[in-house]
Chains A and B, each alone.
Chain A
Amino acid sequence: MSSACEEFRKLYELEVSDELTARQFVRLDRHRDACPACRELAQQTEPLRLFQVLAQDSRDDGFWMGTNRALRTGISEEGRLGPGESLLLLRPVYRVALAAVLVLALGLLAAVLSPSLELPTPEPSALMVMGMAPGEVMLPTVEFIQSENARVYEMKVFGEQDQVIQVVMILDDGIDL
């Protein structure tokens, strides 16, 4: 046994009892790299050898299903992904989520950018009936509300002295009056 091997065994005892310094570890590790016999000796009593079984860890073809397709897609898109590429975007579930978010965002954008509902301009004759002058600012009232979803109900109420009151009811849950 060489002196280096003897030193290794002393150092290794220290390592097992958790008394090794970082500097001693360097010497130990160097020799472990260089000497197969000492490496084997250490492995017999090394608690962390437990984890060496993980070197056998593998996955069968079922696990890799879809990987080649994803890679082919990635290759086809080569040049279009920037440095901000995301790992998560490779997963179908994230792609679906991203598509849903994009659709929602487009919907919101369209709603914001679409022209607001224009109120009809009353005919001058109607303004006269309503007691307004042309050009006078008229606040929107229920009469001018247009909505495809609105339901309009009309009814007449007969009062005393043959008074007839026409009541128009507009029901639309989605409109803010």
Chain B
Amino acid sequence: MTAASHTDETDRALLDRIRAGDRDAFEVLVRNKRQQAFRLARRVVGQDEDARDVVQLAFLRVWRKVGSFRGGSEFDPWFHRIVVNLAIDFVRRESARRRSQTDWAGEQARAGGSGHRALPAVLQLQEVSRIFDELSACLPPRQRAIFVLREIEGMSTDDVAKVMGIRLSTVRNHLFQARTTLRRALQARYPEYVPGGKEEKP
């Protein structure tokens, strides 16, 4: 059976196949989940290449641990927890090393996609990504991960607590701290992006 024929299968069906050692099913799962996993990892580790490494390792861990995954549970929170924990571990290990900002223009050029047609959106994304990387660098990795899950990925506080394996009150505390820090930093450094602040950027 080809990998393409698996695309409509549910996570659970894919996981059953993966448990049986089906590598095609595993590749389908990777394709289905890699973008969101990348976004999570990218916002926590701050670098494209590092995020891709984290995603690769997360999928390898899924392959190894799929036997211990309870069939009745949802796959996404379990998988997101793996990704976030690996990303946080990575940031802690690398914290001594100051890394440069991602060269988004270079990424787009290397990707060779239809960057010209989507130029305004790409530019906006680049700019926002740069600002987020800059401002969130002062957040502890766990706090950053919670903010990303809640405010960027749009998860409920309950789901964030499940992914992080912590209590709701802890999630809210971290979220409160992260929001306060980011809001102040945004107001101080980029008031043009704050409603009611200076003039909007074109």
* Chain A residues packing against B (C-beta within 8 Å): 15, 18, 20, 22, 25-26, 29-30, 33, 45, 47-48, 50-60, 62-64, 67-68, 70-72, 74-75, 78, 85, 87-88, 90-91
Q: Kindly provide the distance from the CB of A172 to the nearest chain B CB, expressed in whole angstroms.
A: 45
Q: Kindly provide the distance from the CB of B113 to the nearest chain A CB, expressed in whole angstroms.
A: 5
Counting chain B CB atoms within 10 Å of each CB, the highest count among A54, A78, A88 belongs to A54
Q: Are B186 and A47 in contact (CB under 8 A)?
A: yes
Name B149-163 residues within 8 Å CB distance of A.
Answer: 151-154, 156-158
Q: Are B183 and A90 in contact (CB under 8 A)?
A: no
* Chain B residues in 8 Å Cβ range of A55: 39, 152-154
* Chain A residues in 8 Å Cβ range of B175: 25, 29
Is B202 engaged at the interface, CB distance under 8 Å to the other chain? no
Is B142 engaged at the interface, CB distance under 8 Å to the other chain? no
Query: What 15 new A-B contacts, CB under 8 Å, besides A54-B125, A56-B125, A71-B63?
Result: A29-B175, A29-B176, A33-B156, A50-B128, A54-B132, A57-B39, A57-B129, A62-B112, A63-B111, A64-B52, A68-B30, A71-B30, A74-B63, A88-B53, A91-B53
Grouping DSSP codes into helix (H, G, I), strand (E, B) and loop, the B interface class, with mixed when no group exceeds half, is helix
Count of B interface residues, CB-CB < 8 Å: 59
Q: Which residue of B lies closest to A45 (CB)?
A: B195
* Chain A residues in 8 Å Cβ range of B172: 22, 25-26, 29
* Chain B residues in 8 Å Cβ range of A64: 34, 52
22 contacts between A and B (CB under 8 A): A22-B172, A22-B173, A26-B169, A26-B172, A26-B176, A33-B157, A48-B182, A50-B128, A53-B125, A53-B128, A55-B154, A57-B125, A58-B35, A59-B35, A59-B48, A62-B111, A71-B26, A71-B56, A74-B56, A75-B26, A75-B63, A87-B90
Q: Are A90 and B57 in contact (CB under 8 A)?
A: yes
Q: Which residue of B lies closest to A85 (CB)?
A: B57
Q: Which residue of A lies closest to B196 (CB)?
A: A45
Known contacts A62-B113, A74-B56, A90-B57: A48-B30 contact under CB 8 Å = no
A26, A33, A67, A75: the one within 8 Å of B23 (CB): A75
CA distance A60 to B63 in the complex (A): 24
- For the complex of A and B, the 10 pairs showing the least CB-CB separation, nearest first, are A25-B176, A47-B194, A87-B53, A74-B60, A58-B35, A62-B111, A60-B113, A26-B172, A54-B152, A22-B176
Is B193 engaged at the interface, CB distance under 8 Å to the other chain? yes
CA distance A54 to B36 in the complex (A): 11
Known contacts A60-B113, A71-B30: A48-B186 contact under CB 8 Å = yes
Q: Are B57 and A54 in contact (CB under 8 A)?
A: no
Q: Kindly provide the distance from the CB of B137 to the nearest chain A CB, expressed in whole angstroms.
A: 14
Q: Kindly provide the distance from the CB of B153 to the nearest chain A CB, expressed in whole angstroms.
A: 6
CA distance A72 to B125 in the complex (A): 32
